[in-house]
Homo-oligomer: A and B are copies of this chain.
Amino acid sequence: MMEQDQSPEKSGHPPAQSILHEVRTAENSAAYLLPTLRSMVNSNSHLKLLDVGAGSGTISVSFAKLIPDGHVTGVDLSSNILPRARAVAEKAGVKNIDFQQGSVFKLPFDDETFDITVCHQVLVHIGNPWDALREMLRVTKQGGVVAAREGDYETECVWPELPELRKFHKLMAGLMSASGGTSMAGRQLLSWALRSGVERSQITLSFSTSSYSAPSERNICAQGLCDQLRGGSLRERALKFNLGTENELEEIAKTWEEWAKRDDASLAMLHGEILVQK
């Protein structure tokens, strides 16, 4: 399972195109944090967790299930996405959660409010991620943890090699740059954390992968990308930044559909992960 690279936090669009976001859970997108989270829950079941750039809230909701006596707050820059996140929580029967609008650069919380502050595919989209990390550290309690997982899009490897999929890669990397972000976020997470003011000894760095290869995974991947290429915010931004024409986007979408039908097809990518002990 792979997470799409376009964050609702940046897009500000409703989640019509969210199939690739909504398969995200704490288990598949924050596994690096779970041992620490479980250990912290053991000593304090009333843990407060902040999920920054929560989007449609599927990761936030799965965090909330892991701390039933605690509370999860999800923030997103886009207020448009909040009703969807609240609906996801309600459908899951999760009540120890709330969602609100907020920017990672100016989180609407007092200093030292949360035990765990986490983000996923947020820093990849912004030009000064160390400031975002500093702000996440500010709202985190002493003894708490700041956690971030970001894709390294330049490590994306797709097979078979189809020219249209190379074009798609360039398009996505172009969108990341257009928002001030980088297609090489995963490898830089450690340097960003250091620049935010913490010591190397406070940081645990790890890497993990996301991938699509089984038939059902390929279908989810292709459907999610085609939806975005044909009608989502990805399309809108690609056209706005002159990263592709309508025809080119349609050709790419058709190629993803062909790709999904091939038994030898796979897509994989590397992600960087940091745990910062405050």
Contacts and interface: CB of A to CB of B under 8 A. Distances in A.
A263 interface: yes
Interface residues of A, number: 30
Interface in A202-223: 205-209, 211, 213-214
Given A211-B206, A270-B209, A264 B157 contact: no
B190 A264 contact: yes
Contacts of A160: 191
Interface stretch (A76-84, A142-150, A180-188): A180-188
A56 to B, nearest CB: 25
B213 A184 contact: no
A268 interface: yes
A88 interface: no
A109 interface: no
Instruction: Quickly give the copy total for this chain.
Output: 2
Contacts of A66: none
A154 B268 CA distance: 12
A214 B263 CA distance: 38
Interface string A231-264: 0000000000000000000000000000000011
Contact of A190 (B205, B209, B213): B213
A152 interface: yes
Interface in A147-163: 152, 154-155, 157-160
Interface in A107-164: 152, 154-155, 157-160
A272 interface: yes
Contacts of A214: 205
Contact of A158 (B187, B207, B264): B187
Interface of A: 152, 154-155, 157-160, 184, 186-188, 190-191, 194, 200, 205-209, 211, 213-214, 263-264, 266, 268-270, 272
Given A154-B157, A268-B272, A270-B270, 5 more contacts: A155-B268, A159-B190, A187-B266, A190-B213, A266-B272
